[in-house]
Amino acid sequence: MGSKNGSKPATTPANQTDALVQHMRDSMLPGDTPFSPEGMKDAAEYVTATAQQRKFGEIAMRIESVTEGHRYTRIAIVNDDMPFLVDSTANAISALGIAIDRLVHPVVPVDRTKDGSLSQIYEGEPDDAYWESMIYLETARVDAKQRRALEEELQTTLADVRAAVQDWSKLQEQMKADAAAIDDDEGSALLEWLESGMLTQLGHVVRLRDGSQQNALGICRAGEPDLLVDSSFERAFAWFEKADNHRTPLIIKANHISRVHRHVPLDLFIVPRREGKKVTALSVHAGVWTSAALAAPPRAVPILRERVDRIRDRLNFDEGGHAGKALVHAMTTLPHDLLIGFSEEDCERVATTMMALVDRPRPRLSLVEAPLARHLFAFVWLPRDMLATQVRLQIKSLLEDSAAANLLDWSLEVEGGNLAMLRFVLDIRDGAKSPDEALLEQQLQTLLRGWSEAVENELGTMVEGGRAAALAIRFAEHFPTAFRARFGPREAAEDIARLRGLGIHADDAEEDA
């Protein structure tokens, strides 16, 4: 086949490499890690070799570790061009704890023979060529076992990407159909709003009462066939059959992390399908909120806009007054993807807690149990100056110990002012009960406002003041977070007093000897 629109074809591996070098150079941004001419040509040769054989709809991938000179691992992935390839690939690698040192992503015009052999790489940008994604990465060096795990994860991730992209229009049709079918006006408006580009739709499945599934689309026919475990589906059926549960759709978080676009827990929107009053099936939509949706003002988001008005009216806030504006600010700052799944009472409680902290930042905590008793959400506010990795890890341990549950996800939000908000998600599906919020709040205050001071105060009731301060300085910080959360400063002080007593007796014994 000749050149297209005057573009020069590169038909030999050497010429293909030269053409790819130019495409790689053109794809790089000014802030990218500098690439020497020799290094870029070597990378282009590696990608070209990987690209020599690939059929439409398949992936050509190569991973190898370089041991000469600078030790690193390099990856070449050749694929049909489609959305979400680069971010999904980078997320998959980072999720395995592998640092990415370089990423170059040219989209390249090519021709292939019927058997998938690479026959040409075009220079320039011909209008009628077939375009392929060619991703080149350099990472920290990994061993053979890690390479196998990495390749498996990348294959699964890219299969999810392909399935979601291929079924995109069908996913939209399913959400439109469910939006038209439900009676809840705000719920219907929410699905229409999400379908308009506010949700990256990734999967859909219909779950029948007998446990079978139909109409699997996107990731549900690829790497995520089961969005929820059987017990959670049964809880969802029961939830819709309760007379006092009129909210539709039911909005929850999955435990599965999205492999496509954003590495976050999947958002699920569940719509019942009924025969009379009996729920016979659940239509489940899976996706992740877009950045635009998360940043949208609450008055632009169906369901949230209604809640803002009802909470404001119930609390007699003037819309233009300080409290009314503070409520809108809190509802804007709190994560929409969580807030919209809460009950109105929980929304009000969390929002008003945050309102009280904006002008006077201080440590506070609020807990919310998600629908179906699957997740416990903990919102922790603290002054920005208190924020540190060690503090976050201590709070995490405090929550896990108090709830007897494992952490699934966390995020951090720091506003322009002096207030930071940590959000934790804990898995309580195994029946773990929500901890006593008042007690947990007290433990948080002790943790953040001065464990040593609290221990010193308790020691002051057991020994004289100067000795209490010295003992607290010497011993208090050695108590682990789990001990602090479970037993508190009083038990710690008693243990320190016992240690001191043992030391005194040891000194007396030495003198007697």
Residue 324 forms beta bridges with which residues? Answer: none
Consecutive H or E run containing 78? strand 72-80
Q: What is the pLDDT of residues 213-222, one digit of tens each?
A: 999 999 999 9
Cβ-based neighbour number of residue 30 at 10 Å: 4
Q: Are strands 130-139 and 72-80 parallel, antiparallel or unpaired?
A: antiparallel
- Concatenated DSSP letters of 251-315: EEEEEEEP-SSS-SEEEEEEEEEEETTEEEEEEEEEEEE-HHHHHS-GGGSTTHHHHHHHHHHHT
* Closest by CA position to 367, among listed 380, 382, 386, 348: 380
In terms of phi and psi (left: phi > 0; alpha: psi -120 to 50; beta: otherwise), the region of 272 is: beta
Tell me the three state secondary structure of residue 179.
helix
Q: What is the pTM of this model?
A: 0.86
Q: What size, in residues, is the chain?
A: 513
Q: What is the pLDDT of residues 224-243, one digit of tens each?
A: 778 999 999 999 999 999 86
Cβ-based neighbour number of residue 129 at 10 Å: 20
Contacting residues for 501 by C-beta, under 8 A, at least 6 apart: none
Cβ-based neighbour number of residue 358 at 10 Å: 16
pLDDT at 12: 64
CA-to-CA separations, 188 to 94, 182, 296, 303, 307, in angstroms, rounded: 37, 6, 18, 10, 16
- Residue type at position 168: W
d(CA 496, CA 152): 52
Mean pLDDT of the chain: 91
* Closest by CA position to 146, among listed 65, 70, 76, 257: 65
CA-to-CA separations, 110 to 48, 122, 374, 500, in angstroms, rounded: 11, 6, 49, 78
The two structure tokens encoding residue 453:
């001071």
Among 14-23, 94-103, 121-130, 154-163, the minimum mean pLDDT is found in 121-130
490 alpha carbon, distance to own chain's centre: 38
Q: Do residues 451 and 488 make contact, with C-beta atoms less than 8 angstroms apart?
A: no
Consecutive H or E run containing 149? helix 144-166
Q: What is the pLDDT of residues 261-308, one digit of tens each?
A: 999 999 999 999 998 889 999 999 999 999 999 999 999 999 999 999
d(CA 114, CA 207): 40
pLDDT at 464: 82
Q: Do residues 223 and 156 make contact, with C-beta atoms less than 8 angstroms apart?
A: yes
d(CA 238, CA 232): 10
Q: Which residue has the higher pLDDT, 355 or 69?
A: 355
- Residue type at position 339: L
Q: Do residues 53 and 118 make contact, with C-beta atoms less than 8 angstroms apart?
A: yes
Tell me the three state secondary structure of residue 173.
helix
Q: What is the pLDDT of residues 27-66, one digit of tens each?
A: 999 989 899 999 999 999 999 999 999 999 999 999 999 9
**Angle between the N-to-C axes of helices 451-459 and 465-475, in degrees from 0 to 180, rounded to the nearest 10:** 140
Q: What is the pLDDT of residues 325-383, one digit of tens each?
A: 999 999 999 999 999 999 999 999 999 999 999 888 888 999 999 999 899 999 999 98
